[in-house]
A and B are shown apart, each in its own frame.
Chain A
Amino acid sequence: MSWTGNILRVNLTKGTCKAETLNNDWAQDYLGQRGLATKYLVEEVDAKVDALAPENKMIMATGPLTGTMASTGGRYSVITKSPLTNCVACSNSGGFIGAEIKNAGWDMIIFEGKSKKPVYLYLVNDKAELLPADDIWGTTVWHTDEWLHKQHQDPMLRIAAVGRSAEAGCLYAAIVNDMHRAAGRSGVGTVMASKNLKAIAVRGTKGIGNIKDPARFMAAVNAGKKVLADNAVTSQGLPTYGTQVLMNVINEMGALPANNMQDVQFEGAQNVSGEAMHEPRKSDGKPNLTTNAGCFGCTIACGRISTIDKGHFSVENKPEYWGNSGGLEYEAAWALGPDTGVDDIDALTYANFLCNEDGFDPISFGSTLAAAMELFGMGVITTKETNGMELKFGSADALVWAVEKMTTGEGFGKDLGLGSKRLCEKYGHPELSMTVKGQEFPAYDPRGIQGMGLAYATSNRGACHLRGYTVASEVLGIPEKTDPLVTEGKAGLVKAFQDATAAVDSSGLCLFTTFAWSLEDIAPQVDAACEGDWSAERLAEAGERIWNMERDFNLRAGLTGADDTLPKRLLKDAAKTGPAKGRVNDLDKMLPEYYEQRGWSNDGVPTPATRQRLGLA
């Protein structure tokens, strides 16, 4: 087994919480978490629904290995329709609340409808209640976390909440759990707030005991832990530098987008790198990084726990920001730093704290701010819109000002909360939006890493590094090195990464294990825990099924193959410096082959034969 077999259905319109039995047939086809919850979404929600209407549903789902001792087995995902992209949204988070939901006895929680008044879900094992959230509506995630622990006099409650940005309608609001982990992308927090659901507070003491073959499971788990412990990336690089290990590497290969992706290298990269986080600062001799941290069950522990320099202008006279909290990860550091041209690590850390405190995606925020800065440079946005703030590339003052506006969505914060696509449209320059399907890019320039261009263009949730991370192959040589400047072979590579990732995201494990693990390492763990024979091949096939199911949802929502593209800047304006100098992304050389390998028509629609093969017909 390993699934609990129980779903909690919370109807916010009626104010009811009801237990249901999990559809085991679907679990055999879609595994759990991302795959299984998406199956529920596509069965229950019309793809054309307004993402912020009560008819949209939001599912918090664990995987079969969530809550077990499998390394990194603490993940959960939030699946809904995205208000940012109008595609399927699926945001994955670590921390501890995923395992807590499972320990309380639930595979997933389906939220539907809309509450008349703000509420939060209080869930202790079998007991689920919707309670008034009037006292915490309009407050931050961090305040909500503190209030709920006090209200219930239970320090062991695990909390996930939305902040003020979500309430203000920011289209890329996140759901933040355990203070600084987040289901960050695509506006899943915006959907949660639209339902007048402020938080979920969970305590689970039942445990997970229905492992199919416990002895074999522990043997597979220990073998997997050993592989992670013996791998340089997962045992040294990630614990020491976190994902920030990449900042200097990606900059040197000319694939670090800067200044709203006008450039592919950033002079100040070193100043905001993983290495810089270890440097003792002049003021108090302490480094930015206090320690690394693990999510539930994770033996890698890439998480960053950081402080801001007390003397930094952003936190002067604000002692509430002098303590430790979640520090810079690579994608956030890039968006808040190189993409806005800011190389002040304390300003970046402060911005990152505020993204967690009020729940919004630092990638989308940084990228949207970068677009606004470019528009400011062109004189399209002026100090009239910004209340006098000079919104210039490289200005830490502008970054700090903007992130503070974002928390409550006041003034120019309202514009920034639109996301890059809508902001650029509003100001008449849609070509300056560095987005795919309305979602902002992460930190790899597809002119310098060709495969990522195809991965971005075809991602089911818009531009994203976590749907097909060919960086692993093109930069790090995992599982084997491919040339980042070559397009040949990338179609197959992207497909393989997309399918494998969909399987990992459906298991309860963290994608970062795949720096060391292949599906061959994961399959024995899933197989020993779950009913059914789970081989690496079957996992990859489930991943392919999930990918096509997500694609179908997007097509029904109104997207077409024409949306599988990149901004003109990346297709027409050549990289100015570095190893990729003179290159654009050659998407047109990869996309037709990708469609063919996927078994899709020339316009990107899964063929009847493909649907038949995957059981989607």
Chain B
Amino acid sequence: MQMSLLIDAGKCTGCVQCELACSLENEGIFNPAKSRIRIFTFHYEGRFVPYTCTQCAEAWCMQACPVDAIAYDAATGAKVILEAACVGCKVCTIACPFGTVNYNSDTGKVIKCDLCGGDPECAKACPTEAITYVDADQTGYERMRAWAVKTDAGSTAIA
């Protein structure tokens, strides 16, 4: 079964535990500036929004890469940077419509979420389940259930 990160911004408190966990896994140090997942704070609106790569099926970053340095991991569905092959041309950072591929000037390579090989650290670190790792074909399940329970038939069920 393929899995997917599911983000529910309404549960996020902006604590950046995910950014810390991501940087520890990928850089070996605590460094939110190098995290592949980012929390955006919208102060006036009172909202915190975690955002990272959605692992597009036909990934523009992968198609744009001139040196085949972005590979498809069939086990996880992740598009993974092959560091040895990456030449740091940054074309993928332009191709990505969502901005989730970024250049790391310390290494001269690009970085993006690779789902930690199928065990994403951000989801494990999140204290509020704002970030979960679920069945990729059923990412709408909980939201459907939440609406289902509001129907007449579901109204007696325990939410």
Contacts and interface: CB of A to CB of B under 8 A. Distances in A.
A301 B128 contact: yes
Interface string A199-227: 00000111111000000001000000100
A207 B27 contact: yes
B17 A291 contact: no
A206 B31 contact: yes
Interface stretch (B8-16, B69-77, B94-102): B8-16
A103 B33 contact: yes
A69 interface: yes
Contact of B15 (A179, A218, A297): A297
Contacts of A209: 28-31
A207 B30 contact: yes
A69 B29 contact: no
A93 to B, nearest CB: 16
Interface in A176-199: 179
B46 A290 contact: yes
B43 A298 contact: no
A293 B48 contact: yes
Interface string B3-29: 000000000011111001101100111
A299 interface: yes
Given A291-B47, A294-B13, A307-B46, A69 B125 contact: yes
Contacts of A323: 43-46
Given A103-B31, A207-B27, A207-B31, A324 B16 contact: no
A179 B28 CA distance: 31
A37 B149 CA distance: 55
B31 A225 contact: no
A307 B44 CA distance: 9
Given A205-B31, A207-B23, A299 B127 contact: yes
Which range holds the interface residue count of chain A? Answer: 35 or more
A68 interface: yes
Contacts of A82: none
A26 B111 CA distance: 40
A324 B21 CA distance: 28
Nearest to A99: B32
B134 to A, nearest CB: 20
Contacts of B46: 290-291, 305-307, 323-324
Nearest to A145: B43
B79 interface: no
Given A179-B43, A324-B43, A325-B43, A295 B31 contact: no
Chain A interface secondary structure, helix, strand, loop or mixed? loop
B127 to A, nearest CB: 4
Interface residues of B, number: 26
B40 to A, nearest CB: 9
Contacts of A69: 17, 20-21, 24, 30, 125
Contacts of B34: 205, 207
B12 to A, nearest CB: 9
Contact of B33 (A207, A303, A305, A306): A207
Given A179-B43, A324-B43, A325-B43, A208 B29 contact: yes
A239 B129 CA distance: 14
A363 B124 CA distance: 38
A292 interface: yes
A68 B34 CA distance: 14
Contacts of B48: 291, 293
Interface in A279-315: 290-299, 301, 303, 305-307
A67 B30 contact: yes
A67 B31 CA distance: 8
A68 B43 CA distance: 24
A254 B29 CA distance: 49
Most buried by B among A292, A298, A325: A298
A42 interface: no
A253 interface: no
A229 interface: yes
A323 B28 CA distance: 39
A142 to B, nearest CB: 10
Contacts of B20: 68-69, 297
Contact of A293 (B13, B17, B45, B125): B13
Contact of B127 (A96, A225, A324): A225
Most buried by A among B29, B47, B48, B128: B29
Contacts of B21: 69
Most buried by A among B30, B31, B34, B47: B30
A491 B31 CA distance: 43
A324 B33 contact: no
A324 B17 contact: no
Contact of A301 (B15, B31, B33): B15
A294 B16 CA distance: 8
9 contacts: A71-B127, A99-B32, A207-B30, A208-B29, A225-B127, A291-B48, A294-B16, A323-B43, A324-B46
Given A207-B23, A294-B13, 15 more contacts: A68-B20, A69-B17, A69-B125, A71-B127, A99-B32, A103-B31, A207-B33, A207-B34, A293-B13, A293-B14, A294-B15, A297-B15, A298-B15, A301-B15, A324-B45
Interface of B: 13-17, 20-21, 23-24, 27-34, 43-48, 125, 127-128
Q: Which 4 A-B pairs have the closest CB atoms?
A: A207-B31, A324-B46, A294-B15, A209-B29
